[in-house]
Amino acid sequence: MSAPRNPVVVIPARMASTRLPNKPLAEIHGEAMIVHVWRRAVEAEIGPVIVACAEQEIADAITHAGGIAVLTDPDLPSGSDRVHQALGSFDPLKKHDAVVNVQGDLPTISADDIRAVFNPLSDPAVDIATLAAVIRRDEERNNPNVVKAVAAFGNLRVARALYFTRATAPHGDGPLYHHIGLYTYRRAALDRFVSLPPAELEMRERLEQLRALENGMVIAVALVDGVPLGVDTPEDLERAREILAKRT
C-alpha cells in the first residue's frame, strides 16, 4: 500500500447543538465559524476542501465564501458517516484515495495541524491517522471528557495507537496524551469503517475510533504542540473570537 497521491479534505457540519444553537453559523469577526474552519483547511494545501452539510443554511454560507458544499442526510449517526456520504457524492469514481476529516467546530485549528494528521499515511501499514498533544493541566488527567490516546512515542512524533480511553491511562510515571479528533482515512479504510457495526468497547467508552482498533485497523497518532479550541458553548465562542482577533 503506497502513500496517498490524491487526498481530499472533508469538514462535516450540522446545526444540531444543545449548548450552542446553530453552531456552524456562529459569527466570528464577520464570518460563520464553519467558514473559518474551511479557510484553515484550504490553507493546509492538502487537496480540495468540501463541507459536508446537514442543512442548506450551512451550504449557503460555504458557497457564498467560495467553497464547495455537499448536502447530506441530516439523520446520519456520526461525522464519519457524513464524510463518507459527502465523499461518495463528490467523488463517486473514487479518484481521491485519502480523506482528511476536520471537525467543523475548530475555528482556531492551524493549517500545520491539519497537515500533521495527513503525514502518517506515508507509512503503508497505516489505515487511519489522528492527533494528540501532551496533557499539561493536572485537571485534565482525570477528566473523562478529555480522551486519552495510549501510544508509546518515546522520542518519536508519530506512534501506533494502542487504545483510546476516557480513563486516566496509562498508569505510572510519564506523560498522558490528549486525543484530538481529526482523522485521515485511506479511502478503503473509511469504506470499511462505516460498514462495520458498532463495537463493544466503542459503545462502552463512547469512542467511535475504537471500532477501528477492535477490527484490527492500524491507527497512527501524530503529536502536535497543543490542543485546538473546540467550540461547544457561548464561552468557547467568545474565546475563539479573542484568539482569532490576535492573529489578524
Q: Are strands 98-101 and 128-134 parallel, antiparallel or unpaired?
A: unpaired
Q: What is the pLDDT of residues 118-171, one digit of tens each?
A: 999 999 999 999 999 999 999 999 999 999 999 999 999 999 999 999 999 999
178 — pLDDT class (breaks 50, 70, 90): very high
Flag whether 92 is in a domain.
Answer: yes
**Domain span including residue 47:** 1-104
67 and 31 in a common domain: yes
11-30 pLDDT per residue, tens: 999 998 777 889 999 999 99
pLDDT value at residue 247: 82
3-state secondary structure of 189: helix
Q: Is the dihedral of CA 108, 111, 113, 118 positive or negative?
A: positive
pLDDT by residue (tens digit) across 90-121? 999 999 999 999 999 999 999 999 999 999 99
Domain with residue 116: its CATH number is 3.90.550.10
Cα separation, 208 vs 213, in Å, equals 10
Look at residue 67 and tell me whether its pLDDT is greater than 90: yes
Give the separation between CA 241 and CA 11, rounded to whole angstroms.
20
C-alpha to C-alpha distances, 53 to 61, 67, 86, nearest whole angstrom? 10, 12, 8
The predicted model scores a pTM of 0.94
Q: Mean pLDDT over all residues of the chain?
A: 95
Residue 46 and residue 123 in one domain: no
The number of folded domains in the chain is 2
Say if residue 161 is in the same domain as residue 182: yes
Of 49, 75, 104, the domain-final residue: 104
Beta strands 128-134 and 219-223, pairing class: parallel
